[in-house]
Structure 1
Amino acid sequence: MRVFLARYGIHISKTTVHKYMNKTLNLAVIIMRKKPGYTAGKKHKIFNNLLCQNFTVDHKNKVWCTHFTYMRQPNGRFRYNCTIIDLFYRSAIASVNSDYINTDLAKETLKIALKQEKYPKNLILHSDQGQQFAFWEFVLFCKEQGITQSMSKAGCPYDNAAMERFFNTFKSCFYYRFTFESVEMLYKMTKEYINW
């Protein structure tokens, strides 16, 4: 930084630049929260991985990806979000928040996506091996809708990288940048961001 500024005849220290950036320009770095270490759980895999890390799709409503993320509420409790993205556009087509991370949340999100996209046929739904996606109620619902399920390898986030990237952007560009005064405000702003 000092070498760069010296080129233009400006001689100030890095500390001074830092002070001006913080106080005058109101610029600050966003520090990502450290993620807890991975703990291997029970494997629930009942479907093969049909994507094999190939996230290129030639038309819409061919492959959807889904996943959960968590957000801390103003009262300290967690709120969970389930989102489905279309790999063709890499954008969300359905997103639902809930106090519980369960099959009902996954199923409700899928119902909204299907209604939004007018019940597409020959659809692949890719997810991780979460028990929410392996539970018989969710599996049966997918079969009834003609949806083929695909699952990542256990403990391998690269197999669902499109969703991991979506939630990374969601948290760094939206969630970590705001303070939410109420659960209602968190819900409203999340919906606005996801549907933007």
Structure 2
Amino acid sequence: AIEREKPNEGLILHSDQGVQFTSWAFVDYCKENGIIQSMSKTGCPYDNAPMERFYKSFKAELIYPNKFNTEDQLDEAVNRYVHVWYNHIRPHSYNGGLTPFEARNLA
């Protein structure tokens, strides 16, 4: 995503305090790529409500109803879900009924 989107300097990645986000490898990756890490307080999922909501939709709409036989199938389905369906087709009440792509273009 970083190579494709080429984000502006000062990119902030907000996450919970899961081990995948606190590992030295991930912390180093963020530093090497100029990503500022921001984490929710321990035991406070409301700090990360937008991502919690995304993962609820992601699991309900893609993961639970489907079976993936290979890692390639899963990878293709995740990319299609995020980059086509979720960002460009699926309206979001948070964005006033706009897709994330439409909302970003209006910003």
- The TM-score with structure 2 as length reference comes to 0.63
Q: Is the 8 A contact 1:114 1:120 kept in 2?
A: no
Secondary structure at the aligned position of 1:149 is classed as: strand
Partner of 1:187: 75
Partner of 2:24: 136
CA distance in 2, matches of 1:153, 1:146: 22
Aligned match for 2:57, one of 156, 162, 169? 169
Which sections of structure 1, spanning at least 5 residues, go unmatched? 1-112
Secondary structure at the aligned position of 2:3 is classed as: helix
CA distance in 2, matches of 1:166, 1:181: 20
Distance 1:193 1:129, change over 3 A: same
Distance 1:140 1:189, change over 3 A: closer
> What is the CA distance between 1:128 and its match in structure 2?
0.9
When Rg is computed on C-alpha atoms for both structures, the one with the higher figure is 1
The alignment yields a C-alpha RMSD, in angstroms, of 2.0
Structure with the bigger RCO (C-alpha within 8 Å, sep 6+) is 1
> What is the CA distance between 1:139 and its match in structure 2?
1.8
Secondary structure at the aligned position of 1:155 is classed as: coil
> What is the CA distance between 1:119 and its match in structure 2?
4.2
> What is the CA distance between 1:143 and its match in structure 2?
2.1
Would you tell me which structure has more strand in proportion to its own residues?
1
Whether 1:154 aligns to 2:42 is yes
Distance 1:150 1:175, change over 3 A: same
CA distance in 2, matches of 1:186, 1:136: 27
Secondary structure at the aligned position of 1:150 is classed as: strand
1:104-125 CA-to-partner distances (Å, cap 9, x unmatched) read xxxxxxxxx2112114201111
Would you tell me which structure has more helix in proportion to its own residues?
2
- The TM-score with structure 1 as length reference comes to 0.38
> What is the CA distance between 1:129 and its match in structure 2?
0.9
Q: Is the 8 A contact 1:124 1:149 kept in 2?
A: yes
> What is the CA distance between 1:181 and its match in structure 2?
5.3
Partner of 2:2: 114
Q: How many residues align?
A: 83
